[in-house]
Structure 1
C-alpha cells in the first residue's frame, strides 16, 4: 500500500511539488520516504521515517530537474531495511529510477532468473527485481534511438514475466517518464494535468493538493509515457481484467480520493447504510474509530436514527497503527493513537464503528479503554467483512496466524476475545453492493485470488515476516447455575 508519485513540469523544478504531493500520500506509508529528480543526472534522497523527518534538514533546491519521483514506504516484502526505501536506481542500460506500489507474487522465481543472468540485487525488495527485469528488456533496444514503441515493447515483455500487483512510475534518463499498471489494476494509479505539467499518482488527492486536474486512471494492463517534450503516449498492452483492491475503498485511501471512477466517500457511506440495515442492538449513540470509519459511522447513525458523537478522537501526531511494520510496533501504537471524551462515553451504550477488524490489536485495546472511561456497553461494528485470508498484493495481511477471523471464525467468539458486548461485521454481498459497477479483488474476505497462486507461495509470503502466535484465550460467557443446595457462608 505504498504511495507513489511521478511529476513532469517543463516550466519549473519539480522538487517542491514532489514534496507537497507526497505529503498528501503520507497515509499510505510511514516507514520510509524518498524523492529523486533528474537533470543531467539523478538527484536522490531517501531515509527511514515520515517524509517530514527524512527531509527536515534537506534543501529541496538541491534536487534539481523537471522530472521527479516520490515514494512513501509501507513494507510488505523484504525486511524493512534502509536499503529497501525507494526510489530504486539502475544505471544499466542508461539511468533508471523506479517507484512501485504492490507486491510481486513470483518474486523468488524472478530473483533466481536474474541471478542466472549475472544480475546482482542489493536488497530483498521485489521492486528492485522488477526494475532489473524492465532494465533488461529496455537494453534489448538501441538506447540511443529509444522511442515510445520501444519503451512499450519492454513493458509488455516485463508484464509477461512478473506476476501479482504492480502500479509503477519510472524515470528514463534523457527520455521521459513511464507508468504502467498490472492487467488487474489491483493497486490504483491516476493521471493528472496542470497546464503543460503531468502527474501520475496513487490517489487523486495528491493531484488536487498540487492543483492538478484529474484526467483519468491508468487502465489495467496499460502503459503511458511522457516524453521530454511533454507529449503523453498511451498503449494498452494487455487485455484488462479488472480486480481493484476493495480494501483501498474501505481503509487505505483518503475519503476525498476518486479511484477508478468511484468516490471513496460514496463507498464508505454506502457501507454505513448497509450496516445499519442489519443492526438490532439497543444503544445510546454511535462513535467512529478515527479516521477511516468516520463517513461509515455518520451514515450508519443517520440511517439507524441514532445520535453520532465524537467520543474517540485521534492523536494526529501518531502513526496509523495498522500499517506499523510488525505486531510489537502495532501494539505500542494503539495506546498513543486515541484520546477518549469521557463526558461523551461515560454511562453510555456505544456502537463503535471501525473500518475493519483485521488483527484485533486496536479493537481490543480500545474496548478496554472505553470501559475504563465508563462506557456501559461496547458493541463493535466493522465496515468490512471478516478478513480470513492473507493478502498477497501489497497489504500487510500476509500471515494467516495474525488474522483474528482466521483464528476465531465465529464472530461471537471474536467479540468476546476483544472484550466487546457484541461484534457485527459487514456481509460480503453488502460490501460488493457498495462498490457496484466495479470489478474488485476481495480475496482477503473470500479466498478467491485474481492471479495464479499456490499454497507454497502463500506460505512463503507469510513466513518471510512471520511472528510467533500464542493461542487466543476467549473469555467464556458467564453462566448462571442453580445449585441444588445453599452455599455455606465463609
Structure 2
C-alpha cells in the first residue's frame, strides 16, 4: 500500500513427533526442525521486520541440563542473522570437538536448538520501543520446568491496562510496556497456582521428591489453566506458549480476528499465521492445512498426545479483512481469487470516472501488494469492453454498418492498456518506517516509468488501501503529474478507512485517517463545529458506561455525508501542491458491499463501518476521538505508565 502500515505479527511453530535420530536417518541432518522453522518464518517475512525471536524446548532432559533456549534480534535482516549465527555455531562446536553434529544425542545435549519444540516470531511493533526486549518470545524462568513458560503471539489486547490492574490487585508488580508481558504474567500466575496445588497434593500423598516433576508434568491441566488466564482478555490474538516440561499450546481468539493455521503429519505438528507457508515448507496439500478454530486451543502434551478444546464460548466470526486486502501473501489460492475480485469490483466506478475513454487511459498499480488486485481489475475491464464490443458488433451487423474500420476502432484502438508506471524503493521504505521525520523523506520512496503516459491521458492507478494519504500527496501524485495527464484516478480496493483498529494493526489515531479529516473538514465548512463538540461530550459520557453498553459515537462525524462526498473531499485534500500541473485528481474507494461480495465468508469491517466485534473496540474508538479533539498523540488504548 502507498501508506506504510504495520501489523503485529507472524508466528511459526514446529513440534517434532519423532526422536532426532529419525530425522537424521531420513533427511541426513539433525537440523531438520530448525530448518523448517526458518523456512516458515522466511515465507512470512512480510508479517514483521522490526525484530525476530526464536525459542526451543527440549524434552526429557536430565536434571542439571538446560532445556529452554531463546534468541532475539533487532538488527537489519535479523531473521537471517539469527539463523546464520546458530547454523555457524552448530558446525563450529563440531569442529572444536564440543559436539558431534552427526550424532542426534550429542546435538540434543549440546546445541541450543537441537530440541523437539521450536517456535519463532516476526514482529511489527505497534507499541513499545524497537529494542530486543520487545521481541517475542517472552520467557518466564523457574527452576521448575513445569513453571517455566515461553510465550509469543500475533495479538493486541484492548484492555491491557485493566489486565495489569488485576495483577496489581493480586499484589504482583507488573512491568508496563507491552500487553505481551501482561499475557505472559497472567498465564504464569495460573500456571504457578496449578503447580502449587498439584505439588501440595502430591506431597501430602507422600510422593518422593524425585518423582514429583514427572507426576506434576503428567497432571498439569494446560487447557484449564490457560482458559482461566484468557477469561478477561479482550482483543484479537493467536498465541503460542511452551512450558518447560514440553507441554505446548496454541490458541486463537473467540472471534477469529487474528489468523492461525496448523498442519498435522506423522512427523510434525506445525503452526503458522498463514496457510501457504505450511503447504510450501512441508509440501502439503491445501486440504491438509486447516485453520485453528476461533476460541479453540490446541494442546500438545510432553508425551505427544494432542487435544483440541474450546477455551471460550462461540462468538460471531469476524476475521480481519486486512488479511485479505493486504497483509497475507497473495499466493494463497483463496486470497488470490479474492484480491482479484476486489480489483474487478471497481470497474463500474472507474469506467464512470474516465467516461468510458479506454483509448486514452493507462491502467497501473502502486507496487507491490496491489498487483494481484490489478490483474483482477484488468480482467474486469477487458470483460466490460468485450461485452461492449459484442453489443456494438451485433447492432452494427443488424444495421448493416459493420466494417473493418469499425471493428478496428471498437477493439484495437479502444482496448484497456496496462503499464507498470510506479516503482517503490523497498530499502528506502524500510528506512523511513522508523524515522520520525518520515514526511520529509517519503517523496523519494516512489519513482515512475517515463514515456509511458502521454500528455492528456487518463492515468488510473490501483492501490490496496489509503490510510493517511500522505504518500499520495507528497510523493506519488507529484511524480505521476510530471507526465501531464489530464486526470489521475487513484483507486483503493479497500473502502474508506474511517475508524481506528485495536486488534493488531498500527492505525489507532483518528487524526491520521484522511477519510476522518475529510469528514471533519466538511462538517466545519458546513458550520457544524458544534456537532464536533457534541460528539466529544458524547464520547466522554459513553466511556462512563459499563464497557458492554458502550456505542460508537464517532459514527456521527460521517452521518451527514455520502461516501461520494467524502471521497471528493479526499480527492481535494491529496491534490499535490507546489507543482505546475492543471490536471484533475479523483480518489475512488471500494464499496463495503463489494468488499463483502469479494471475500468468501465473513470478514471484520470495523475499520470501515465502526461496528467493532468486542466491547474494547467501542471503548477505544470513543477514547480515540477524545485524544484527537484534545490534541493528544499516541495509541488510544495505551498501557498506563
Task: Classify the TM-score, shorter chain.
Answer: 0.7 to 0.9
- Are positions 1:41 and 2:67 aligned together? yes
Q: Kindly tell me: are residues 17 and 107 of structure 1, through their superposed partners in 2, closer, same or farther at Cα, counting changes over 3 Å?
A: same
State which of 213, 216, 221 in structure 2 corresponds to 1:150: 221
The residue number in structure 2 matching 1:244 is 319
Q: Kindly tell me: are residues 69 and 132 of structure 1, through their superposed partners in 2, closer, same or farther at Cα, counting changes over 3 Å?
A: same
Mapped partners of 1:395, 1:30: distance in 2: 14
Mapped partners of 1:81, 1:275: distance in 2: 42
Mapped partners of 2:428, 2:112: distance in 1: 29
Mapped partners of 2:332, 2:170: distance in 1: 42
The residue number in structure 2 matching 1:303 is 380
Cα displacement (A) at 1:373: 4.8
Cα displacement (A) at 1:45: 1.3
Mapped contact 2:158–2:617 kept (Cα < 8 A)? no
The residue number in structure 2 matching 1:341 is 449
Mapped contact 2:596–2:602 kept (Cα < 8 A)? no
The residue number in structure 1 matching 2:470 is 361
The residue number in structure 2 matching 1:199 is 270
The residue number in structure 2 matching 1:130 is 183
The residue number in structure 1 matching 2:133 is 83
Cα displacement (A) at 1:80: 3.7
Q: Kindly tell me: are residues 146 and 73 of structure 1, through their superposed partners in 2, closer, same or farther at Cα, counting changes over 3 Å?
A: same
Using CA pairs under 8 Å that are at least 6 residues apart, name the structure with larger relative contact order, 1 or 2: 2
State which of 607, 619, 622 in structure 2 corresponds to 1:444: 607
Mapped partners of 2:442, 2:73: distance in 1: 21
Compute the TM-score of the two structures, normalised by the length of structure 1: 0.86
Mapped contact 1:156–1:237 kept (Cα < 8 A)? yes
Cα displacement (A) at 1:246: 0.6
- Are positions 1:219 and 2:293 aligned together? yes
Cα displacement (A) at 1:381: 0.3
CA RMSD, 1 decimal: 2.7
Mapped partners of 2:467, 2:420: distance in 1: 23
Cα displacement (A) at 1:122: 4.1
The residue number in structure 2 matching 1:391 is 501
The residue number in structure 2 matching 1:422 is 586
Counterpart of 1:161 in 2: which secondary structure?
Answer: coil
- Are positions 1:170 and 2:241 aligned together? yes
Compute the TM-score of the two structures, normalised by the length of structure 2: 0.67
Mapped contact 1:36–1:70 kept (Cα < 8 A)? yes
Counterpart of 1:245 in 2: which secondary structure?
Answer: coil
Mapped contact 1:189–1:200 kept (Cα < 8 A)? yes
Mapped partners of 1:373, 1:456: distance in 2: 47
Counterpart of 1:179 in 2: which secondary structure?
Answer: strand
* 1:296-350 deviation per Cα after TM superposition (whole angstroms, max 9, x unaligned): 112112212322222223435454699x3576447635623x3421132343421
Mapped partners of 2:619, 2:377: distance in 1: 41
Mapped contact 2:217–2:245 kept (Cα < 8 A)? no
Mapped partners of 1:102, 1:330: distance in 2: 28
Counterpart of 1:345 in 2: which secondary structure?
Answer: coil
* 1:165-191 deviation per Cα after TM superposition (whole angstroms, max 9, x unaligned): 111011122223210011001000000
Query: Which protein is richer in helix relative to its size?
Result: 2
* 1:362-404 deviation per Cα after TM superposition (whole angstroms, max 9, x unaligned): 3222111111355443210000000000001010110000111
Q: Kindly tell me: are residues 363 and 178 of structure 1, through their superposed partners in 2, closer, same or farther at Cα, counting changes over 3 Å?
A: same
Mapped contact 2:41–2:120 kept (Cα < 8 A)? yes
Q: Kindly tell me: are residues 35 and 331 of structure 1, through their superposed partners in 2, closer, same or farther at Cα, counting changes over 3 Å?
A: farther
State which of 369, 389, 393 in structure 2 corresponds to 1:292: 369
Higher alpha-carbon Rg: 2
- Are positions 1:412 and 2:568 aligned together? yes
State which of 5, 11, 15 in structure 1 corresponds to 2:34: 15
Q: Kindly tell me: are residues 17 and 181 of structure 1, through their superposed partners in 2, closer, same or farther at Cα, counting changes over 3 Å?
A: same
* 1:189-227 deviation per Cα after TM superposition (whole angstroms, max 9, x unaligned): 000235411111111132134225342100000000123
Mapped partners of 2:219, 2:605: distance in 1: 35
Q: Kindly tell me: are residues 249 and 19 of structure 1, through their superposed partners in 2, closer, same or farther at Cα, counting changes over 3 Å?
A: same
User: Unaligned stretches of 5+ in structure 2?
Assistant: 1-7, 21-29, 59-65, 91-110, 200-212, 355-359, 383-415, 520-565, 576-583, 635-641
Mapped contact 1:181–1:222 kept (Cα < 8 A)? yes
Counterpart of 2:147 in 1: which secondary structure?
Answer: coil
State which of 73, 78, 85 in structure 2 corresponds to 1:58: 85
Q: Kindly tell me: are residues 6 and 405 of structure 1, through their superposed partners in 2, closer, same or farther at Cα, counting changes over 3 Å?
A: same
- Are positions 1:432 and 2:458 aligned together? no
Mapped contact 2:296–2:311 kept (Cα < 8 A)? yes
Mapped partners of 2:339, 2:36: distance in 1: 30
Counterpart of 1:271 in 2: which secondary structure?
Answer: helix
Does 445-454 or 242-251 show the bigger shift?
445-454
Mapped contact 1:384–1:425 kept (Cα < 8 A)? yes
Cα displacement (A) at 1:149: 7.4
Mapped partners of 1:333, 1:21: distance in 2: 32
Q: Kindly tell me: are residues 393 and 177 of structure 1, through their superposed partners in 2, closer, same or farther at Cα, counting changes over 3 Å?
A: same
Cα displacement (A) at 1:3: 0.7
Mapped partners of 1:196, 1:366: distance in 2: 49
Aligned length: 461
The residue number in structure 1 matching 2:563 is none
State which of 332, 341, 346 in structure 1 corresponds to 2:441: 332
Counterpart of 1:387 in 2: which secondary structure?
Answer: coil
